[in-house]
Chain A
Amino acid sequence: MSTPRANIEVLPRSVQFSLALGLAALLLFPVVGSDFYVQMVTRMMIMAIFAMSLDLLQGVTGLVSLGHAAYFGVAGYALAFLTPADVPVSLWWSLPLAVAGSGLVALIIGFFVVRTHGIYFIMVTMAFAQMVFYLFFDNKLLGGSDGLYINFRPDASVFGWLPFDLEGRKTFYYFTLALVVLVYVLLRRLLWSPLGRALSGIRINEHRMRAMGFGTRGYKLTAFSVAGALAGLAGYLWGAQTGYVNPELMGFHMSAHAIMMVILGGMGNFAGAIVGAFAFEYLLHVFKDITKHWQLLMGGFIVLVVVAAPRGLLGMLGQRRAAKTQEDPHHG
């Protein structure tokens, strides 16, 4: 079994500066961008949350989950079930409930998958996610292959007072942006907490962590559940934005896209996941614009990235750092 590659956890000044610039650009964007692009960037930000949640597993803990879309989709469906046909559902309880639901599903599936390693982990996460996919796909009560419509975005009012209205495109945009920042800050904090350090330790050498007395299975299960819950946050937002959920959201392509985003941006520091999500969604948009055979371009691009093996856009910086400090002896 091989350990995933070295990653940069301490962001270089230049990257921190770029992130601040990016945040400023995102804050200003709705002022200049057209409705179409505001929606597109909103979607990119939602995918950024999804990618960050996977990075906690993939980049920090070294667990390659090929079924992460399951938790994304579960929360989207939760919103669809919670929203009545004729009125919006309250944001304040439906969001926590959907996120907790995804976390719970991740906890249950995680209980089985964290017992496995390496290749098994990849296959088992994919198999369980596919089980969730077929559960919804085959079941008329759950919407079947057609999916479900969500007629209203969640309602943010508190006792009759409406602080912001998510039905507005720009308001939804800023709401999503705030959550991106919140998730990023939380995950960065987590990375440097004792839990985060233990998870990094598991990536680098799980045997050694166990020998030091860490119950690595529990740590991995915690990471898996937290990642699932955060994926659920992204899925909830997706459902709210598009007003529609279908089984494809939990499909294997969605999971693989998330992996690709994390790789593309660079693993293990959450900033890369954000950059990767934006880059990947933009590419998808470009490819679909060029040809109806966009899958050919996407596939070719993915193969090219892996063959040329850059460690992501931010990861290239990390490669230099890793070479200097040699923090990961498994990969030079």
Chain B
Amino acid sequence: MDFATFLIQLLNSVQYGLLLFMLAAGLTLIFGIMGVVNLAHGSFYMLGAYLGYSLSGQFGSLTLAILGGAVLAVVFGLALEWLLFRHFYHRDHLDQVLLTFGLIYIFEELRSILWGDDVHGVAIPAMLDWSIALTDTLSYPVYRLFISGVCIALALGLYLLISKTRLGMKIRAGAFNRDMAESLGVNIKLIHATVFALGVGLAAVAGMVAAPVSSVYPNMGSSVLIMCFVVVVIGGIGSVRGALISALLVGLVDTFGKVLLPSMSGMLVYMLMAAVLLWKPEGLFKQ
């Protein structure tokens, strides 16, 4: 592997890792703060991708599609939280698994009714549809850098929100000791709704920005969900920092595995997970 190929794979793995982080961060926050297993998290990613597909076709502008799609997804998430999820914060995991499994069925069918079962491509916006030449023969698509850029910006925003703002303080307080926070006047219901909407929004935006690269297709949610689980298990539940590091790790192992060990690339990520479980059953950065 020469240096340019190496660089391309490195950029690809970082991009994939950052994308996984967007999803895993929402998942881990919803676990960590509300204690909810959300199998339907992948469906929000799928929802985002399909919304992006429709909206970018409608507006002809990806920026508008992302903004509009994010708003729609967040509203949808809030409605879902209010209607169903808030009743499940204190139920056992089994109930949460079943609820969100039922939701997967509903979302999949709705997707099939609304958008059909075909694979759709999403056009890369003209402004971002060019490549940077790395060597005479190799170049790197700018759109992939754009995906990484969006993810980094959102990750930074998330970090600032949680660690520097008043809202973030309340979120942390609620995660640390719910009853204590509540008795100190934190509106925990509002916090939960906010965190949930945040998770949904992150997943949906991830789906939207990834759509031009991965295209949109049925069941795209479930495969990404499994990867998110792997990331969260490696990183440790509730740890956003752990999710970031393990998402990048998973991105590296997966991308380079496909190049260096194509025959067993599918297994490598799980082997990584197994190794981490042997070493630290609660993940690398258990909170």
Contact = CB atoms under 8 A, between A and B. Distances in A.
Interface in A262-290: 263
Contact of B92 (A4, A66, A113, A300): A4
A2 B92 contact: yes
Interface stretch (B15-23, B57-65, B160-168, B276-284): B276-284
Interface stretch (A22-30, A116-124, A189-197, A313-321): A116-124
A307 B106 contact: no
Contact of A301 (B93, B102, B103, B108): B102
Contacts of B216: none
A121 B95 CA distance: 15
A296 B98 contact: no
B273 A120 contact: no
Contact of B233 (A2, A127, A134): A127
A134 B97 CA distance: 22
Interface of A: 1-5, 58, 64, 66, 112-113, 115-116, 118-120, 122-124, 126-128, 130-131, 134-135, 138, 252, 256, 259-260, 263, 293, 295-296, 298-303, 305-307, 309, 331
9 contacts: A115-B278, A124-B273, A126-B229, A127-B229, A128-B270, A135-B267, A293-B109, A302-B102, A306-B95
A127 B106 contact: no
Contact of A299 (B31, B35, B104, B222): B104
Interface residues of B, number: 42
B126 interface: no
Which interface residue of A4, A127, A138 has the most chain B CB atoms within 10 A?
Answer: A127
B98 A263 contact: yes
A118 B266 contact: no
Given A58-B94, A306-B98, A134 B230 contact: no
Contacts of A3: 92
Contacts, number: 125
A4 B102 contact: no
Given A115-B281, A293-B109, A299 B267 contact: no
B97 A66 contact: yes
Nearest to A120: B233
Interface of B: 31, 35, 37, 84, 87, 91-95, 97-99, 101-110, 112-113, 222, 226, 229-230, 232-233, 237, 266-267, 270, 273-274, 277-278, 281-283
A52 to B, nearest CB: 17
Q: Which 8 A-B pairs have the closest CB atoms?
A: A299-B105, A302-B102, A299-B106, A303-B102, A295-B109, A115-B281, A131-B270, A123-B229
A112 B278 contact: yes
Q: Is the interface of B mostly helix, strand, loop or mixed?
A: helix
Given A127-B233, A131-B267, A295 B108 contact: yes
Contact of A5 (B92, B97, B99, B277): B92
Contacts of B97: 64, 66, 122, 256, 259
A301 B98 CA distance: 11
A171 to B, nearest CB: 36
A115 B106 CA distance: 33
A302 B266 contact: no
Given A123-B232, A123-B233, A302-B102, A116 B93 contact: no
Contacts of A303: 84, 99, 102-103, 106
Contacts of A64: 93-94, 97
A216 B81 CA distance: 37
Given A131-B270, A306-B95, A119 B37 contact: yes
Contact of A306 (B99, B105, B222): B99
A58 to B, nearest CB: 7
A316 to B, nearest CB: 16
A134 B37 CA distance: 23
Contacts of B237: 119-120
Contacts of A131: 266-267, 270
B270 A299 contact: no
B226 A130 contact: yes
B98 A302 contact: yes
Contacts of A299: 102-109
Given A124-B273, A295-B108, A306-B95, 4 more contacts: A3-B92, A5-B92, A259-B101, A295-B112
Contacts of B283: 120
A303 B93 CA distance: 14
A119 B84 CA distance: 20
A303 B278 CA distance: 36
A301 B222 CA distance: 21
A331 B266 CA distance: 41
B65 to A, nearest CB: 27
Contacts of A115: 277-278, 281
B107 to A, nearest CB: 8
A305 B273 contact: no
A124 B95 CA distance: 18
Nearest to B110: A296
